[in-house]
Structures are given as structure tokens and as C-alpha cells.
Structure 1
């Protein structure tokens, strides 16, 4: 038996609706996966910032005997001692990075004033650890920004933008450095 024209139309409409629903669910799941990748990459930045903070604190401790005035530099960032707060935004983390750069600059000044500090083996080990941490932080920022680019591209691209708007997904902020922060921290040892 053949279906009537109405039956055929209903089947075609039903198949189209099922395909649209499946596409919607697939797109929504893809967006959620991309969002998780952004959060994972942001966590990598947190780890790198915390590690950099710890290394700079150890360097400050090593230089303390050479310059007492650096204690105030340490106080600028000590509020982050317990790690990156859960509710810290990307902008907060950029500000924290700026403060860490100020600490690093302060250490450079101390090292320039006290050349015998350059020979301290503990300090040399910390210097190497800071360099490794800088590379880790740079890689974490690149990964984060790459994931942000991916999710932002999907969010603004039609037809995925329909799903993104329906689930109230907004574009993510890049981890950017301000002009002052774009300058590399120079460690002169």
C-alpha cells in the first residue's frame, strides 16, 4: 500500500524535524565541549601563574638579605598566596601577571646592585626555574587563546550562532597583555 500524499508529507516533515533536533543537540554538545576546553586552558594559566608566583617568592626570599625594601614588592602580590581565586576573571589574572612582572623587575634591580648574588647557586637554580615557568605560562596562554578563538568562531558562525544564542553562550575574552605588559620581563643576572 502506498501512503497518501498527506502521509508522505508528514513523514518528510517528521524526518526533517528529527534531523534538526539531532543537529541542534550535536551543535550544543560541541559548544559545551569547546567551553570545557577553554576552562581547561584557563586552568593551565592558573597553574603557570601560581608556579611563577612561587618561584618569584623564592627568589625574593633569596634576595631578602641583600635588599630589605623588596618586602613591600612582595606584599603587592601576597594576597594571591593561596592560589588563584575561583572567581578570578581573565582580567584579574592579567592584573596579577602585571604585578608579578613588577616583582620580577624589582628582583632585577637587586641583582644589578649586588653582583655576588649572581654566584648564589640557589638563586641560579631559581633563575632557571623562572625561565621554565615563563615558557610554561606562554604556552598556557597560547593554548587558552587558541581555544577561545575556536569557541568564538563557532559562536558567531551561522547556523551554530542560533544554538549559541539559544543557550546564552557568549564570546570568551582573550588573555591579552596591555601595552605595558607586552614588554618582556628582562632578567639581568
Structure 2
């Protein structure tokens, strides 16, 4: 009789451990998905600000139309991207085009002094920081999730329930180089 109780206790402990590990994997995966969603939210906020920025700049820099056209095209690429990697790639191009718009302010003192332009620049800067944070948080959570599904004994549960590893957001080689500052 006591052997039966011991076997039941061991089985209960194993079931509880199994459930706890499975739920932990689900938690890690869902948190990574949440951070993926936060990236989308911040990119959406950023793309919503861009038309206002472009309209503000248009009035001051009429012959900079090519730069503004690129910004709108890249913005559209971000909103139309289907997956995180494509969104990040499109967003990287958009960031480069926005840097050109920010540089325009140096050539147009009236634009630089425009309060609406200053507010938009500040909002974009804040949003850029939030996008950066969301990317870091996503990569951190993906690292925790991937580690959890690859380590024993969770890897057994992960394989049984088809948990797939997730991809990190990576910076293209061209953007890893530090900008050159010239005086």
C-alpha cells in the first residue's frame, strides 16, 4: 500500500513539473510575441508621424522633393511588410531617409525654427527610442525563449509540443559601421 502511495506521489510531482515547464515555455513564447507586437505599435506610431513631417518640410524645401518621396515610399514599405524581418529591413531604409530630412533642417533655418517641425522631430526621436527599446526587449525575450526550448528537460517538452525557435532582429552589416563625424 505504501508503495502505491509513493508511486502516485512521484507521478503527481512529474505531472506538476511537466505542466510547469510547458507553461513556462508558453509564457516565454507569448512574451516574445508581445514584444514583437510592441515593435509593430511603435513602427505604426512612427509611420503615422511621417506624413505630418513631410507636409511641414514641403513648405520650406520645395526642391527637396526626391528626399521626401523616398521617405513616403519607405514608410509605405514598413506598413506593407508582412513579417518582422521585412518590417525591420524597411524601417532601416526609412531611418536613413529620415536622417536626410533631419539634415534638411540645417539648410533651412526657418524650418528649423518652425514649432510644428520641432515637435514632430521630438516625437520622432522619442518614438525612435521606443522602437530601439522594443527591439532590444524582443531580442532579450527571444534569447530567453530559445534557451528554454533548447535546454534539458524543457527541450523534450518543446519537441513534443512543436515549439519553434524564434529569430533575432539583426542589424544589416552596412548599418553596423559607426557614422563618421567631420568638422
TM range (shorter): 0.7 to 0.9
Distance 1:166 1:30 in 2: 15
- Which runs of structure 1 show a deviation greater than 4 angstroms over 4 or more consecutive aligned residues? 183-186
Q: Structure 1 unaligned runs (5+)?
A: none
Question: 8 Å contact 2:32–2:142 — kept in the other structure?
Answer: yes
Structure with more of its chain in helix, by fraction:
2
Q: What count of residue pairs does the alignment treat as equivalent?
A: 176
Task: Decide whether the 8 Å contact of 1:104 with 1:185 is kept in 2.
Answer: no
1:172 corresponds to? 166
Trace 1:81-96 onto structure 2 (pairs within 5 A): 83=79, 88-96=82-90
Normalising by the residue count of structure 2, what TM-score does the alignment of the two structures yield?
0.83
Return the match for 1:133 from 112, 127, 134.
127
Q: 1:115 aligns with which of 82, 103, 109?
A: 109
Contact 2:146–2:166 under 8 Å retained in 1: yes
Alpha-carbon distance between aligned partners in 2 of 1:185 and 1:44, rounded to the nearest angstrom: 28
Distance 2:122 2:74 in 1: 24
| 2:136 is aligned with 1:142 | yes
Q: How does the TM-score come out when normalised to structure 1? A: 0.81
- Could you tell me how far 1:148 is from its partner in structure 2? 1.2
Q: Residues 34-73 of structure 1: matches in 2 within 5 Å? A: 34-65=28-59, 66=61, 67-73=64-70
Unaligned 5+ residue runs, structure 2? none
